[in-house]
Amino acid sequence: MTYLSIFSKTASAPSLLLGKHNGYEPPQRLNTYIYLWKEFDMRIAQLAPLAESVPPKQYGGTERIVSYLTEELVRQGHDVTLFASGDSQTTAHLEPMCGEGLRKANGVCNPQAPFTLMLEKTFASADQFDLFHSHLDFLAFPLARRCGTPVLTTLHGRLDLPELKPVFAEFFDCPLISISDAQRKPLAWANWQQTIYHGLPEDLYDFHPVSHFYLAYVGRLTPEKRPDHAIEIAKRIGMPLKIAAKIDPVDREYFRTVIEPLLSHPLVEYLGEVTDSEKNDLIGNAYALLAPFDWPEPFGLVFIEALACGTPVLAYRRGSVPEIIKDGHTGFICDTVEQMVRAVPWVSTLSRQRCRRDFEKRFTVKRMVQEYIRTYEKLVSCQEERSSHPLTVVNF
């Protein structure tokens, strides 16, 4: 199949034609070209964070998505090289950038050293690939701008921090993927190619048609995730709460002073970090997943893990939540602790089958990869046309 599309010599985002936004003014002259492109197999480099292995052995949402994406691309016949920690497991070609995931690595005092080496090694091999797909936030932007091979960046974190605006204004031409529409709002003028929701393998989690009598909390024990609210909700309704979460070094004092004293309550059980198989039973058997996350959630992988199990989600109205959870159908979206307490009894009216169906329709890895492939092909074809003999059709 052949497609007709348009790209800009200076930047490929149509939003850049809209003029000044929040004090940043895009280029005033853009040369726009028409080109043709078609589907083909590609040589793709996936650049993963080095904090965890790919896939992670326990917690690690970004590395988990990189793994699902990589394995499905290989299954579909693409030639994929994964730049990641040496303890990663993949059917792609693995290029180890360090011995093991840095979060638990011994003897690594400066994590920027392996990242710097990673950037040099990956971009030095640019002629071996049709496209780089970076999951390193903005760290690869300076090299991406100078690279003859297209570089697509998926942003996995929050974008509302003030120090990010000048970075993205400087690198306005770098093509980006958002993981929710809410995530991109603070930088709405950036070079967004598409919003692509995360996806999971359909057989990763089992459907659990019947729940047990407890609530589940899965995530990080950090102030913005409000595990204290989850505990308060469980106590108010008299329902057991099982907590599976990691504690980052920066949050150890918060855990020691705020959360640890709350764990002595007889309704609360802290399980530490759990594996995928353990999570399958923990979330799948839960009456509901509690997600009182009080920050602009970029996506929330645990939401779709719960839906895959058939488990409804109770979440605060923050960030991506209204995009992922269908209020009154696959869960309840709340604004306060009191609202969430009142919503818990109504979970029994929700269909666990509908939760699973919504996952199968919207959040599978096959759907995610199809959308990424379309974006890959557009960028690669754009680069090839730009390097050959483009036809100028419009001058601004």
Please indicate, yes or no, if residue 207 is contained in any of the structural domains: no
Same domain, yes or no: 306 and 281: yes
**Cα distances (Å, whole numbers) of residue 93 to 45, 80, 147, 337, 380:** 9, 6, 22, 47, 21
Q: Enter the tokens of residue 387.
A: 């390097």
Please indicate, yes or no, if residue 286 is contained in any of the structural domains: yes
With CA atoms as reference, report the closest residue to 301 among 150, 179, 395, 384: 179
> Sorting pLDDT into bands at 50, 70 and 90, what band is 30?
very low
Please indicate, yes or no, if residue 305 is contained in any of the structural domains: yes
Same domain, yes or no: 10 and 118: yes
Q: Are 127 and 149 in contact (CB under 8 A)?
A: yes
Pairing of strands 313-316, 176-178: unpaired
Q: Which helix (H) or strand (E) holds 3?
A: strand 2-8
Residue with tokens 């996936």: 46
Same domain, yes or no: 137 and 284: no
Same domain, yes or no: 27 and 87: yes
pLDDT per position as a tens digit, 163-203? 999 999 999 999 999 999 999 999 999 999 999 999 999 99
Same domain, yes or no: 244 and 333: yes
Same domain, yes or no: 173 and 223: no
Same domain, yes or no: 387 and 320: no
Please indicate, yes or no, if residue 173 is contained in any of the structural domains: yes
Same domain, yes or no: 30 and 144: yes
Please indicate, yes or no, if residue 141 is contained in any of the structural domains: yes
CATH number, position 181: 3.40.50.2000
pTM: 0.85
Q: What does the pLDDT read at residue 385?
A: 64
pLDDT per position as a tens digit, 256-304? 999 999 999 999 999 999 988 899 999 999 999 999 999 999 999 999 9
Q: Which helix (H) or strand (E) holds 153?
A: strand 151-154
Same domain, yes or no: 94 and 164: yes
Number of domains in the chain: 2
Same domain, yes or no: 370 and 280: no
Residue 62 or 6, more confident? 62
Please indicate, yes or no, if residue 143 is contained in any of the structural domains: yes
With CA atoms as reference, report the closest residue to 13 among 127, 184, 148, 128: 184
The 3-state secondary structure of 217-255, one letter per residue: EEEECCHHHCHHHHHHHHHHHCCCEEEEEECCHHHHHHH
Same domain, yes or no: 348 and 371: no
**Cα distances (Å, whole numbers) of residue 227 to 46, 172, 220, 262, 307:** 33, 37, 8, 10, 20
Q: Enter the tokens of residue 144.
A: 């991406």
For residues 196 and 133, give the distance between their C-alpha atoms in angstroms, rounded to a whole number: 14
Give me the chain's average pLDDT, please: 88
Same domain, yes or no: 190 and 307: no
Q: Which domain holds residue 273?
A: 215-361
Please indicate, yes or no, if residue 205 is contained in any of the structural domains: no
Please indicate, yes or no, if residue 384 is contained in any of the structural domains: yes
